[in-house]
Amino acid sequence: MSRSCPGLLTGAGDAVGTSTAPWNNAAAGNRSLLENLLYFSSRGFASGTVCTVDSPPQILTNFSHYSAWCMLFMSVVTFVACLVKEAPYGRYSTAETQKSGDWKWGPLIPARVAWVIMESPTLWTGCLVLWFTPAARILGQPGPDPMNVVLLSLFVIHYIQRALIYPLFRMKSGAAPMPISVMFMAFLFCLWNGLTQSVALSNVELYPKDTDRTREWVRIAVGSVIWAIGFYLNITCDSILMGLKDKPKPDGYVELAATGKEATEGGGSGGARQRKGDSSSTATPGADSSKADSRKTRYKIPYGSLFTYVSCANYTGELIEWLGFAIACWNLPALGFFVYSFSNLAPRAHKHHQWYLEVFGDEYKKLGRWAVVPGLW
């Protein structure tokens, strides 16, 4: 499927479907700025051969493949780390992490600003890669190759929603702030993944145009449908969660107090319940609200859509998205992204599930929900 150019790093000879030519001034004038820079930075390995616009430099192919393998390796590390310790944002952003003098996780960044900063690299790195990619390679003749356009569109559409629409137009103004260290780690991953997926789909994973591509189109269609289902579920379930905070406080609400360890469950009798394992005193309905943190958040049990089956339906929707993306692309970088997404989201969903069980007790246990994958986890 991919067409790589040997010789830039290894000095190997010609291969089927690729061509090489001496890198002279005339040839350099027909190459992109990115390829000129790559050539001059690696000419010690080049052995005087370079790639035409019909095939990418070997350095881009190597980056795409090695990056994907690194992502698979980091998935194991991330999975273990996320099981051991939850990242302190969202419901885990307690007063302890919000103290201005607590630098364990760094200063806090407003949620909307943090989301835009950490998710946006997937958009602008893709734009940079496409800008420096020779048009003849990705566009083909006489027009854009629809396969690569479809696959790139799946990736870009998700991050337009996640990096721009969600934080700027859908996120609630009272969303908990995020420690700068968490934002920075997410920023680095999105930068890395944005480069990996963009390079793969614009320079490396190029589909031959002179063969029957019916099987590839069927696979892309199936993967795109799965992606679309996951995209819809992700947005729908996010909306359900955000809608809970718009409703008036009902009986049975759970309120997180200043320490993040206290929960008050006010039923019809106005009683209070202490969370298991917490020796601190709990706030009671009607208690002086000045003793509670100004950012305390009320959580309620979500219902509807995939929440019927799992505790973190929004995460399940996103995992379905990237599973569909991996099927549609059918390459190592997309597989690495899906596996890494699972290693990050599944442990956090497990933590959420345990939190629901601890806070809501038997009421939640009776719902029979799984954490993120119905029937498995």
Please write the tens of the pLDDT for every residue from 152-169.
Answer: 999 999 999 999 999 999
* Helix or strand run (H / E) with residue 36: helix 33-41
User: What digits encode the pLDDT tens for the residues 306-321?
Assistant: 999 999 999 999 999 9
Higher pLDDT, 50 or 144: 144
Share above pLDDT 70 across residues of the chain, in percent, rounded to a whole number: 62
Confidence grade of residue 337 (pLDDT, cut at 50, 70, 90): very high
**Stronger pLDDT, 22 or 305, i.e. the higher one:** 305
The band of 146, judged by pLDDT with boundaries at 50, 70 and 90, is confident
CA distance 336 to 192: 12
In our burial notation (b when 16+ CB lie closer than 10 A, e otherwise), range 12-37 reads eeeeeebebeebeeeeeeebbebbee
SS3 317: helix
Q: How high is the mean pLDDT of the chain?
A: 73
Average pLDDT over residues 66-80: 95
In tens, the pLDDT along 89-111 reads 555 555 554 554 445 778 888 88
At residue 130, the pLDDT reads 77
DSSP, collapsed to helix, strand or coil, labels residue 178 as strand
Where is average pLDDT lowest: 32-41, 79-88, 181-190? 32-41
pLDDT at residue 294 greater than cutoff 70: no
Q: What is the DSSP letter of 27?
A: H
Buried-exposed string 120-154: b where 16+ CB fall within 10 A, e elsewhere: bbbbebbeebeebbbeebbebeeeebebbebbbeb
Is the pLDDT score of 281 beyond 70?
no
Q: Give the confidence band of 234 by pLDDT, cuts at 50, 70, 90.
A: very high
Q: Look at residue 48 in the predicted model and tell me its pLDDT.
A: 34
Name the pLDDT band for 88 (thresholds 50, 70, 90): low
Mean pLDDT is lowest, of 167-171, 196-200, 243-247, for 243-247
pTM summary value = 0.72
CA neighbours within 13 Å on the CB side: how many for 274? Answer: 7
The answer, yes or no, to whether residue 278 has pLDDT greater than 50, is: no
